[in-house]
Every structure is written in C-alpha cells, then in structure tokens.
Homo-oligomer: A and B are copies of this chain.
Amino acid sequence: MPTILGQNQYGKAENRVVRITRDGTTHHIKDLNVSVALSGDMDEVHYSGSNANVLPTDTTKNTVYAFAKEHGIESAEQFGIHLARHFVTSQEPIHRARIRIEEYSWERIEAAGEGRHSFVREGRETRLAQITFDGERWEVVSGLKDLTVLNSTASEFWGYVKDRYTTLKEAYDRILATSVSGRWRFNWTDDAQEMPDWETSYEETRKHMLQAFAETYSLSLQQTMYQMGTRIIDHRGEIDEVRFSLPNSHHFLVDMEPFGLKNDNEVYFAADRPYGLIEATVLRDGCEARIPVDLTNL
C-alpha cells in the first residue's frame, strides 16, 4: 500500500448547550457551543470501515449534555476538563481528546416582579477555550474573537520601506481599529498543580488587553499588538504564551477637497476588504511556543 494514514481525529462539533441554574427565583445561565475531537487507535476505521474502536460522535454529543447535568458548568475551561478526562480515561482506544468551546455572555434584564430569569445576550466578543488531554498532560488555551476596538487618535504610520509599487501616504494622526482574535496558553498542565481561577483569569486578561490597546501611543499595529501581549504576560502569571491575529480595519479619511470642504479627521470610510492582517506570538521568556500560527475560527 503506497499510502499511509497520518494525524486524524473525529467527534461531534458545535453542540449548543444552555445550562440554567436556579437559585430560588434567581436564575443563572451558561451558553456554550462545544466541539469534541478524539484521537487514538483509529487506523482500522479508515482502512476497512470497522467501527469496533469508534465511540460514535452521537455519543460524544450525548456526553456533553449529560455532563452539563452531572457536573454543571462552572466555567468553559472546567467543563472541558471534565469532558476530556472522561473520553481519555473511559475508552481504551482513545488516547487524546481536544474540547473546543465558544461561550456567549448574557446580561440580566432588570424588570419588575419577583423572578430574576430574564436575559439579553451581549453581542460583544465570543469567549473561547480549548482543552487538550493525552492522559498525562493538560493544555488549556483560552481566548476570544470578534472584540472590535478603535482608537480615534494616537496612531501614526510613517518611515516605512518604499518600493516601485508604494503609493501610500504617511499618516501622522489616523484611526487604529481592529477586531481582536486572541489566544493565550496557561502553564497549568498537570492535575498536581493548583488550577487557575478561569473566570477571573478571563476577565483580567480581557481588561489588560483593552487597556494596553487604549494606552499605547501607536506607531504601528505590530507595536500595539506586542504591548497587548506583554501586558498579559506581565500581569497574569498563569499565562505563558499569547497569540494574536489582528486585522487592520482601515478607516480611510474621506477626501472632501472636491466638494470644497476640509475633512479635519472627522469623517471616515470604514472599509471591508482588503485589510492588513497582523499576527504574532508573545512568549514568557524561556517558554516554548505551542499555539499554532493559524488561529481557527472555532
């Protein structure tokens, strides 16, 4: 046989689970999108179609829902840890489990009446968590996508290389805007270590990211991005690596000279495509990079 099987994985993707917790008439909500990917002793299902080692993807879906009941959802990360441990330890042919989770936030609606069971979905960013377990070592990567931010000043771009195809004019006061896609890896890898407080860690990491974006006087989006990563590494000891993928969401100053008007950094055209795309990893000194170069959407 001239071909061989390489890396492979399977599972049920995008299980949408909503968990309500009732504290008297005050309800709480967790809203997740959970994807399961399992690997292990799976050659035969590829070669002959024998499913003897295959736990059905439908069962992985059922397990997500059952665990939301049995374990509750304390945090996306903790929920993923329960799931990954279960698949690897309960099925001999499964050697590795990767759980990916999107989390959607809800805010309480303040209203008259006794019950507190009404919510409006926050549409801001989507929170992300990826938990991988191989039976020994944990890898937890959290993150977010679609966090759209903008500085209306304090950004310049000049002093760049000019070649035959360069027509861009230097800018000494521009809008800097991006939609942050970020991932950060925790140095918690072992059940013997104390687990981070996942909820606090997320809130603090997000806050540092936003503040670094706002507080950096920017000569390039790369500089701002590096500051965002550095701020996280500096303040959050539980995190060793950060990777960002930042579109430069161009806001072009509209030329109003043809209309006899002066556009004094007031009116901008927000463009769709093309866009600059700036990507980098920021590491705690001495740590190894493990987050892949390409961030995936889920």
Contact = CB atoms under 8 A, between A and B. Distances in A.
A256 B65 CA distance: 8
A11 B222 contact: no
A192 interface: no
A3 B91 contact: no
B285 A46 contact: no
Contacts of A200: none
B17 A269 contact: yes
A120 B91 contact: no
A187 interface: no
Contacts of A157: 51, 56
A5 B273 CA distance: 28
A171 B226 CA distance: 46
B213 A118 contact: yes
Contacts of A146: 123
Interface of A: 1-22, 27, 29, 31, 35, 37, 42, 45-59, 61-63, 65-66, 68-70, 90-91, 93, 106, 109, 111-113, 115, 117-125, 146-154, 157-168, 175, 210-211, 213-215, 218-220, 222-223, 225-226, 229-230, 233-234, 241, 243, 247-248, 251, 254, 256, 258-261, 263, 265-285, 289, 292-297
A163 B91 contact: yes
21 contacts: A3-B284, A9-B293, A10-B276, A18-B270, A19-B266, A20-B175, A20-B267, A42-B222, A45-B220, A49-B218, A51-B161, A56-B157, A56-B168, A57-B276, A59-B165, A65-B269, A90-B163, A109-B149, A121-B150, A123-B123, A165-B259
Given A14-B274, A272-B272, A267 B65 contact: yes
A62 B259 contact: yes
B17 A268 contact: yes
A281 B265 CA distance: 42
Given A274-B14, A277-B10, A265 B152 contact: no
Contacts of A151: 117-119
Contact of A210 (B58, B111, B160, B270): B111
Contact of A152 (B20, B281, B297): B20
A293 B219 contact: no
A56 to B, nearest CB: 5
Contact of A52 (B125, B161, B166, B251): B161
- Residue of A11, A261, A278 contacting most chain B CB atoms (<10 Å): A278
